[in-house]
Amino acid sequence: MSKLCEVLAIVRTNKMLATKKALEDIGLPSFTALKCFGRGRQGGRIEELTYPVSPEIAKKAEEATYNFIPKRLVIAVVPEAMVKKVVETIIKVNQTGQHGDGKIFVLPVENSVRVRTGEEGLEALF
Ligand SMILES: Nc1ncnc2c1ncn2[C@@H]1O[C@H](COP(=O)(O)OP(=O)(O)OP(=O)(O)O)[C@@H](O)[C@H]1O
Ligand SMILES: [Mg+2]
């Protein structure tokens, strides 16, 4: 069986739509997106948000003892041969050069099974 990989990408909320379109454009119809919160090495400082927030929210965030920034988690299980393209595509859409542009992790996947048919591995992906 060809190897399968899971690409986990944590991206900005305002990049989700463009990320989805770009993944569709490279032939990736199936993936999962979750609303999540995260912090990188800036510890979730408010400047990481690239969109404006009200002074009240900014004050609250500065005073919080812990900080998390709203993010989107994109989960795509793909053939190993597609990983490079998927990673490049996510970078292309999400790289602004500002802190908080996101993080991508690539993990090995043991198997996949399409529940409706019982197909496994590559056949069960798309
Ligand atoms: N080591 C990690 N483990 C799990 N999640 C992480 C890790 N690093 C980053 N993340 C997730 O990725 C999101 C975006 O990270 P971010 O782009 O801020 O990375 P960074 O390492 O702080 O780099 P930068 O300096 O460019 O901001 C975080 O909010 C968090 O959800
Ligand atoms: Mg960061």
We report the CATH number of the domain holding residue 22 as 3.30.70.120
Residue nearest to atom 2 of ligand 1 (CA): 40
- Residue 8's domain comprises 4-124
Over residues 12-64, the pLDDT tens digits come to 999 999 999 999 999 999 999 999 999 998 777 766 667 788 888 878 777 77
pLDDT for 112 equals 97
* d(CA 79, ligand 1 centre) in Å: 25
pTM of model > 0.85:
yes
Helix axis angle, 83-94 to 16-25, nearest 10°: 140
In this predicted structure, the answer to whether residue 1 has a pLDDT above a threshold of 60 is no
Q: Which residues are within 8 A (CB) of 49 and not within 5 positions of it... i.e. 6 or more apart?
A: 69, 100
* Distance separating alpha carbons of residues 90 and 28, to the nearest angstrom: 12
Q: How confident is the model at residue 65 (pLDDT cuts 50, 70, 90)?
A: low
Of the listed ligands, the closest to the CA of 67 is: 1
Domain total of the chain: 1
pLDDT for 91 equals 98
> Which residues, judged by CB distance below 6 Å to any ligand atom, belong to the binding site of ligand 1?
10, 38-42, 69, 71, 99-103
Distance between alpha carbon 120 and the CA centroid of its chain, in Å? 25
CA dihedral 26, 38, 111, 85 (to 10 degrees): 20
Q: Which of 31, 16, 23 has its CA nearest to residue 102?
A: 16
Average pLDDT, the chain: 92
Q: If 0-12 CB within 10 Å is exposed, 13-18 middle and 19+ buried, where does residue 112 land?
A: middle
